[in-house]
Amino acid sequence: MITLEQVSKTFAARSGPVRALDQVSLEVQQGEIYGVIGRSGAGKSTLIRTVNMLERPDSGTVTVDGVDLTGLGAAELRRARQGIGMIFQQFNLLESRTVRGNVELALEIAGVDRAARRARSGEILELVGLTDRAHARVFELSGGQKQRVGIARALAADPKVLLSDEATSALDPETTASILGLLRELNRELGLTILLITHEMDVVKTLCDSAALMRDGRIVEHGRLDDIVLRTDSVMSRDLFPLGELPEPRGTAIIEITFVGLASEEPVISRLARTHELDVSLLGAAIETIHGRQTGRTRLELSGSAAQIDAAVADLQGQGLTVNRVREAA
């Protein structure tokens, strides 16, 4: 649905050129929620702004819904933008208009007539749960309500894609959860494709089907979240399950087991000790709810012979667990 190919962008800053995007390629499938995470200055905002050409890339192509936006003229680009909604960290609502007026702005721009604007704005405000605030002025709203208006405005003209640049970063955790819930709902009910930018792993964890990690203008890691979770060498995965530093070497082996769903209820550890006659100690564990499923990782220290450990690992893998051998026994 969204394809970026070899997109680069360099800004001329006072201190010299800043390469905000360095040959970035990205593919967002139809109907998925794709999260881009990274530190401040990594180039996330620049990336998402190229998707609707608020930022024109120096090179590379940006294709949304089959149309290469880099090749469009001004009028065609405006038309294409109507099919790409965007929400912002600072909401960017017009104080000069009511809630309904803000939503209707999108429809006025899209050339929808008055009666249809009324009907559509009513409909979309109901979808975001703001029917009773339709006539409120923007300054009367809470942050969460403002972002709902932002979402309603972005979706009024019925776009297929929604771009979200840190949409929940100005909100408290509870409000964040409710906005993320709304985005999930819209994604399911409308089949909306969402590309979002965040610096919080929590957002990726609760919402995203796929994710990419940016650093210094590049995408250093990407994939479906289900896969990332199981990749123990992944930076994102280590951020998801923070297990801390490894202990000093002391002749023992260290493994990490990642489990998804019910496997965690099996008596894994006691079985290792019993069946394979190993000494097992727990070095760390983290459990997260990802896509509504309990997903976790434990780090175990095993003392025993190499053969015993090999057998134990094979056994675990046989149970469908993902095992990563972090350190071999000396």
Partner 1 sequence: MIDSSDPDFWPDLFATVWKATGETLYQVGWTLLLTAILGVIVGTLLVVTDKGGMLERPLGSRALGRTINVVLQLIVNLGRSIPFIILMIALIPFTRLILGTAFGVTAAIVPLTVAAVPFFARIVEMSLREVAPGLLEAGSSLGATRWQLVSKVLLPEALPGLILGFTTTAVSVVNFSAIVGTIGGGGLGDVAMRYGYQRYSTEYIVVVIIVLVAIVACIQALGGWMSNRMRRGGTPSARSAAEVPPA
Is 224 a binder of partner 1 (CB under 8 A)? no
Least Å from the CB of residue 21 to Mg ion: 13
Within the chain, strands assigned E span 2-13, 16-28, 33-38, 59-64, 67-68, 84-88, 161-165, 193-198, 210-215, 218-224, 253-260, 279-290, 293-303, 322-327
Nearer to ligand ATP, 45 or 187 (CB): 45
97 contact, one of Mg ion, ligand ATP, partner 1, none, CB 5-8 Å limit per kind? partner 1
Least Å from the CB of residue 161 to Mg ion: 19
First-to-last alpha carbon distance for the chain, in angstroms, is: 50
| Dist CA 124 CA 100 (whole Å) | 10
| Dist CA 270 CA 67 (whole Å) | 56
Is 80 a binder of partner 1 (CB under 8 A)? yes
| 3-state class (DSSP) for residue 37 | strand
Amino acid making up residue 233:
D
Binding residue (CB under 6 A) for ligand ATP from 18, 201, 273, 326: 18
In sequence order, the 6+-apart residues with CB closer than 8 A to the CB of 200 are: 37, 168, 169
Is 227 a binder of partner 1 (CB under 8 A)? no
Check if the beta carbon of residue 163 is closer than 8 Å to that of residue 35: no
Is 105 a binder of partner 1 (CB under 8 A)? yes
Positive or negative: CA dihedral 240, 185, 158, 64: positive
Check if the beta carbon of residue 132 is closer than 8 Å to that of residue 168: no
Is 246 a binder of partner 1 (CB under 8 A)? no
Q: Please work out the total of residues on this chain that contact Mg ion, with binding judged by CB under 5 A.
A: 1
308 contact, one of partner 1, Mg ion, ligand ATP, none, CB 5-8 Å limit per kind? none
**Among the residue ranges 12-20, 61-69, 99-107, 295-303, the one whose residues contact ligand ATP (CB under 6 A):** 12-20
Residues 1-60 that bind partner 1 (CB under 8 A): 52, 54
**Among the residue ranges 34-42, 58-66, 104-112, 137-145, the one whose residues contact ligand ATP (CB under 6 A):** 34-42
In sequence order, the 6+-apart residues with CB closer than 8 A to the CB of 33 are: 183, 184, 187, 193, 194, 196, 207, 208, 209, 210
Residue closest to ligand ATP when measured from CB atoms: 45
Binding residue (CB under 6 A) for ligand ATP from 7, 28, 34, 43: 43
Check if the beta carbon of residue 154 is closer than 8 Å to that of residue 86: yes
**Among the residue ranges 150-158, 190-198, 227-235, 298-306, the one whose residues contact partner 1 (CB under 8 A):** 150-158
Binding residue (CB under 5 A) for Mg ion from 21, 43, 45, 171: 45
Closest CA to 25 of 4, 56, 8: 4
157 contact, one of ligand ATP, partner 1, Mg ion, none, CB 5-8 Å limit per kind? partner 1
Residues at the interface with partner 1 (CB under 8 A): 52, 54, 77-82, 84-86, 88, 90, 92-97, 105-106, 108-110, 137, 139-140, 143, 153-154, 157, 163, 169-170, 172
Residues at the interface with Mg ion (CB under 5 A): 45
